[in-house]
Amino acid sequence: MSSGPLANLKVVDLSTVLAGPNCARYLADFGANVIKVENPHTGDSLRGMAWKDPRDGKGLWWKLVNRNKQTIAADLKNQDDLQLIKNLIDEADVLVENFRPGVLERLGLHPEELLARNKKLVIVRVTGFGQTGPYAQRPGFASIAESMAGLAAVSGDPDGPPMLPAIALTDEVTGITAAFATMVALHSGVGQVVDVNLLQTVFQIMGPVISLYKVAGELQPRLGSGLPYTVPRGVYQCSDGKWVGVSASSNTVAGRVMAVLGVGNDERFTTFVGRMENRRELEELMSTWCSTRTRDDVVKILADAEAAVGPVFDMADIARDEHYAAREMIPTVGETPMQGLIASLSATPGVLRWEGRDLDADGDDIRTRGWGA
């Protein structure tokens, strides 16, 4: 058994790829005992997805998302394997799955029956569109959720097409959302089904733009890196070709930026409304000011003025940055450097024990000893 604040939790992870497995990963990072169940013939497709570790040929995403989990191969269409998984679920606190609605039932794992056998069980169902509604049976992919939740519509340049994020944003955020919802359900002390989906999660992080449309008929425009209510806000190139990010999302910080730009007393820029109405002029001022100074100078001048500024880092910058090192944000788990824990708890910290394991690495022990493996 593991250590950590969630060491008393037993989690069966039937999910694949990202959102569902990320939910189980966050629980495992804080000590939950997670058994990852995979198809014995194919394994989780995440094993072969995207970047491979050149040292051993294994998927880097797999190593990250399925760290701290035990693995077992089981064919849920085989009655002996299915019974083994049912036995594990009977003693579990949490079941995580991301089949399309109805598939879990067709496999013989009806939530009602599982809850009748294990009244404390929390069944976390992660899908593209939820268990109900006209879109429930559609395949769930983050890119589609980002398109349909309004994110793509507000992303991109004003004269360009809608854009999708360059990372698996919705899968990652949905994993966090599912872990949060799981803990809420566990805290309730009542066995139940938790319905989490990609569309609803990304829609939730869109802020009040649906309220804006409903009450005022307004749509948020595409502004590149800008925001309608914050000027200046974006990335700006410096004289050495490097970039900085600048934000003036509070009036106080905006005033400091205006002072640095030499327009602190210009009435056009003293209020949110004024800055919004004079967006083009202010963005040009910011761009010109940055373009005549190196990135280090821009960061120092604005930081000294207590304005919000930061260099635009790529992963090479991050790998050698002193703050990341001081915070131990890139530990080596097993033999692979990766992101550390999502949060630091002062009294009951999480523990990173091992990277994602081979297919069926713990299968023999689990078949013999169950949760005692």
**Domain 233-319, CATH homologous superfamily name and number:** formyl-coa transferase, domain 3 (3.30.1540.10)
Say how far apart CA 339 and CA 312 lie, in whole Å: 19
For the chain, what is the total number of helices (H) and then of strands (E)? 16, 11
Residues 59 and 50 sit within 8 Å (Cβ to Cβ)? yes
Cα of 94 vs its chain's centroid, Å: 20
- The single-letter DSSP state of residue 168 is -
pLDDT score at 238 = 98
Say how far apart CA 140 and CA 98 lie, in whole Å: 9
pLDDT score at 3 = 85
Question: 230 has which bridge partners?
Answer: 227
Residues 200 and 130 sit within 8 Å (Cβ to Cβ)? yes
**DSSP three-state, residue 63:** helix
Residues 88 and 60 sit within 8 Å (Cβ to Cβ)? no
Cα of 255 vs its chain's centroid, Å: 33
Cβ neighbour number for residue 112 with a 10 Å cutoff: 9
pLDDT in tens, 124-172: 999 999 999 999 999 999 999 999 999 999 999 999 999 999 999 999 9
pLDDT score at 93 = 98
Question: 247 has which bridge partners?
Answer: 233, 308
Say how far apart CA 93 and CA 95 lie, in whole Å: 7
364-to-43, 192, 230, 264, 372 alpha-carbon distances in Å: 16, 31, 57, 70, 12
- At 101, the amino acid letter reads P
pTM of this structure: 0.95
Backbone φ/ψ region at 207: left (φ over 0), alpha (ψ -120 to 50), beta: left
| Domain ranges (residues) in the chain | 10-206+341-372, 233-319
Q: Pull the structure tokens for residue 243.
A: 């970039």
Residues with Cβ within 8 Å of residue 332, at least 6 apart in sequence? 338
pLDDT score at 69 = 98
Low-confidence ranges of the chain (pLDDT < 70): 1
Say how far apart CA 139 and CA 135 lie, in whole Å: 9
The 3-class SS string of 162-219 reads: CCCCCCCHHHHHHHHHHHHHHHHHHHHCCCEEEEEEHHHHHHHCCCCHHHHHHHHCCC
pLDDT in tens, 262-277: 999 999 999 999 999 9
Q: Which residue has the tokens 């002062």?
A: 346
pLDDT score at 2 = 73
Please check whether the domain covering 10-206+341-372 is classified as CATH 3.20.20.70.
no
pLDDT score at 353 = 97
**DSSP three-state, residue 173:** helix
Catalytic, 360? Answer no
Q: Catalytic residue among 13, 29, 93, 171, which? A: 171
